[in-house]
Structure formats: structure tokens, C-alpha cells
Amino acid sequence: MDRNLYTPDHDAFRDSVRKFVEREVAPHLRTWEEQRLVDRRLWQAAARQGIVGLAVPEEYGGGGESDIRFRAVVMEELAAIGAASVQLGFSLTEDIALPYFLELTDEEQKRRWLPGLAAGDLITAVAMTEPDAGSDLQGMRTSAVRDGGHWLLNGAKTFITNGTQADLVVVAARTDPSAGSRGISLFVVERDTPGFSRGRKLEKIGLHGQDTAELFFHDARVPAENLLGEPGHGLRSLIQCLPRERLAIAMGAQAAAEAAFGWTLEYVRDRRAFGRPIAAFQNTAFTLAELRTALDVSQAFIDRAMLAANDGRLTVEDAAKAKWWATELQQRVTDRGLQLHGGYGYMAEYPIARAFLDGRVQSIYGGTNEIMKEIISRQLIQPG
């Protein structure tokens, strides 16, 4: 499909990203999967290449480029080699955490944190999900109480991407128990904060190279100047940032689905059965036709959503549509692709097998797809 989405600048950037991925990512994927962790040096190398910190303003050492299409290029190139764990780690920093640091920080906070983010020296995490509350942000129990020049944080967070090695963690906590949704605030908890500890590195069925952890706060003493935004405005800030997060998940899912389709197409063209290529059988051909059509239709919607995001027009509902649709499509493509690989699709050495496991979580995080449908349906049935 001729997308007409990218300019020559994006094409030149893609060439640079592709060379970086071949040199700095592909040779190390197996090692990172085994150690359950992507080396920190990759963030620094990516920053030197202009891949990390691209949206950080130039005065703080970044690229000053907010065009989300550049992020799509990075996602597509990482997906092409099956580097889902790297893609998630980068996306957490660039698409999910960075907007909080760009939009909610004051000048002193920007000077303190943005240069390190731009240089790849600081890795970020966002800690919202709790063991008992799940996706229900209003049900969170983590609390913060003012104590002179500090806030004392108490509680636990779980399923935190980059949780093991994050230097800066954006933490949501309840600061006014009587204020309901207006009683939640955001804090930046730094690595060496007293009372802040990390639990075990969680064992997952996929994304083995990406570190996911539990975080604990026991009277964690967070300086008052680490309050992010206005007190009590945390939920509002979360809601404002969620559309970008969900679009990023959709972009990553679309890129992964496209890669899985490409691997499958190559396999069925080369693999022969009963004297002819598997691709020549009608069932295979029809499956490929269905998946190709679904991918093209999905890509058109996501491209439109990316342009809307660039212009500040992305709606909560369209982000939810993109997220649930693309992640469901990713799972459908990888499932059908694995089936067409036959027994080899079940072998871990084949990228389609890893993609099948890596992609399963996509319909869960960022708000489950059931919640996405709830968001869409509310807009449809509300009066007026």
C-alpha cells in the first residue's frame, strides 16, 4: 500500500535507524532475552544516533522534533527484526513517560531531568497499576502525605515496564482520600529515594528481554519539588496523556503485525508441500488475502490518527479505537502466521513464535481492550 505518509526526512531517518538496529540491536537480542534485561548502554547509543530523546527540546540536548511519524519509523524497524522487548522499553520512555516530563514539569524540573533523558542516561518508568486495582486508577491505594519539605509515599505498584532499571519513576498516589478523582497527584521518584525498593523481576510468557518489576514504597521520602504538575490534578494529567500512549501501542501493534505477515509470506512462498509452494494452496492464499486487506485498512486509520496527534486533534475515542483494533489484529496475524508455518511456527528459533508470545499482552496494557470498547461506547450512547 502506498501510504503517502512519510517525507524524504523520514526516509533518511529510517536508513539511519535501520543501520543502528542492525549494528546495535540485532546481535544482542538473544543475550537480552536470556538475561531478562536490555543493556542500559542501548539507550545511550540510541541517543547518540538521535533515536532516543528526539522530542526533547534542543535547549535541553534533544532533537526538538515532535512529529510522531519518526517514532513510527523506529517501531517499524525494530519490529522487522522481532525486537519487541527493545521496542517496548523505548516506547515506555519516548511515548508514555516523556510527555509527562515535557508537559507537566516546571523550568527547574526540565533543567534537572530532560538533559539526562535526551542523552539516554536516564531510563524512565510509569507506575500506575496496583496489585488490587489493575486498570482502575480511581481504586488506587498508594498514598502520599506531606511531611515538611517532603512527601511520604506508601504503597505498591506492579507490572511496571522498565521497573528494574528505571532512574525516574512517575508514580500516581492519592494525596487527598476525601477528594475522589481529584485527590490523586503525580510524583517523580528517583532511583536512590529512601524507602523506595524494587521487588522481583517478573517472569512473563513473552517479552523476555524487557524488565518488568514490582515497586514498593515504605515512607519513601520524595522531595516536594518532585511533585509533577499541580496537586490533585494527577488523574486529569493521566487522562490527557493516555491517548498518546494508546496510539503508540497501536502503532507498535501495527508494525509487529506487518512484520509477522512479512515473515509468513516469505515462509509460504519458499516452503513446499505435495510438490508445490504452500502459498499456492487456496486456503493459504485466501488467508494471506484476508490478512493483507485487514492490515491495509488498519494502517490507513492509524496513519490518520498519527497525523491528528501531530496536529493536536487526536480524540480519546479514536485513540481507543486504534488501540483495540490494532492489538487484536496483531494477535490475529501472528496466530494465523504461526499456523501457516506448521510445526516450525512452534519453534522458538522462528520469529513468528516469539512474536506470538510477545504480542499477547498488547490487548491488556494501556487499558484492556474491554475498557477501550467502554470508552468508545460511552461517546456513542451519551445524550446529544
pLDDT digits (tens, 9 = 90+) for 71-121: 999 999 999 999 999 999 999 999 999 999 999 999 999 999 999 999 999
Query: CATH number for the domain including 256?
Result: 1.20.140.10
Point out the domain boundary residue: 232, 255, 273: 232
Residues 240 and 377 in one domain: yes
pTM: 0.95
Model pLDDT, residue 272: 85
Beta strand 168-174 pairing with 124-127:
parallel
Model pLDDT, residue 178: 82
Give the count of alpha carbons within 13 A of 104, CB side only.
25
Structural domain tally of the chain? 3
Model pLDDT, residue 384: 59
Residue 252 near residue 79 (C-beta atoms within 8 A) = yes
Point out the domain boundary residue: 98, 122, 146: 122
Point out the domain boundary residue: 64, 99, 122: 122
Arithmetic mean of pLDDT over the chain: 94
Model pLDDT, residue 4: 86
Treating both helix axes as pointing N-terminal to C-terminal, what angle do 351-358 and 316-340 enclose, rounded to 10 degrees? 140
Q: Kindly report the CA angle at 18 between 16 and 21, in degrees rounded to 5?
A: 110
Q: Which residues, other chains included, contact 71 with Cβ-Cβ below 8 Å and sequence gap of 6+?
A: 54, 91, 94, 95, 248, 251
Residues 133 and 112 in one domain: no
Residues 170 and 224 in one domain: yes
Model pLDDT, residue 50: 94
Residues 257 and 367 in one domain: yes
Q: Which residues, other chains included, contact 235 with Cβ-Cβ below 8 Å and sequence gap of 6+?
A: 137, 138, 172, 181, 182, 184
Residue 335 counted as domain residue: yes
Closest listed residue to residue 137, CA positions, set 149, 151, 125, 127: 127
Residues 361 and 249 in one domain: yes
- Which listed residue (245, 317, 328, 370) is catalytic? 245
Model pLDDT, residue 327: 98
Residue 3 counted as domain residue: no
Residues 253 and 195 in one domain: no
Residues 220 and 339 in one domain: no
Rounded Cα–Cα distance for residues 196 and 216 (Å): 6
Residue 173 counted as domain residue: yes
Model pLDDT, residue 135: 62
Residue 1 counted as domain residue: no
Residue 219 counted as domain residue: yes
Query: CATH number for the domain including 144?
Result: 2.40.110.10
Range of the domain at 148: 125-232
Residues 226 and 157 in one domain: yes
Closest listed residue to residue 354, CA positions, set 20, 21, 86: 86
Q: Which residues, other chains included, contact 185 with Cβ-Cβ below 8 Å and sequence gap of 6+?
A: 144, 172, 173, 174, 175, 227, 228, 229, 230, 231, 232, 233, 234
Residue 147 counted as domain residue: yes
pLDDT in tens, the chain (384 residues): 667 899 999 999 999 999 999 999 999 999 999 999 999 999 999 999 999 999 999 999 999 999 999 999 999 999 999 999 999 999 999 999 999 999 999 999 999 999 999 999 999 999 999 987 666 677 789 999 999 999 999 999 999 999 999 999 999 999 998 887 789 999 999 999 999 999 988 999 999 999 999 999 999 999 999 999 999 998 889 888 999 999 999 999 999 999 999 999 999 999 888 888 888 899 999 999 999 999 999 999 999 999 999 999 999 999 999 999 999 999 999 999 999 999 999 999 999 999 999 999 999 999 999 999 999 999 888 765
Residue 215 counted as domain residue: yes
Residues 46 and 161 in one domain: no
Residue 2 counted as domain residue: no
From the number of C-beta atoms within 10 Å of its C-beta (0-12, 13-18, 19+), residue 11 rates as exposed
Does residue 34 carry a catalytic annotation? no
Model pLDDT, residue 1: 61
Residues 45 and 77 in one domain: yes
Query: CATH number for the domain including 63?
Result: 1.10.540.10
Residues 152 and 188 in one domain: yes
Model pLDDT, residue 179: 82
pLDDT digits (tens, 9 = 90+) for 291-300: 999 999 999 9
Residues 370 and 302 in one domain: yes
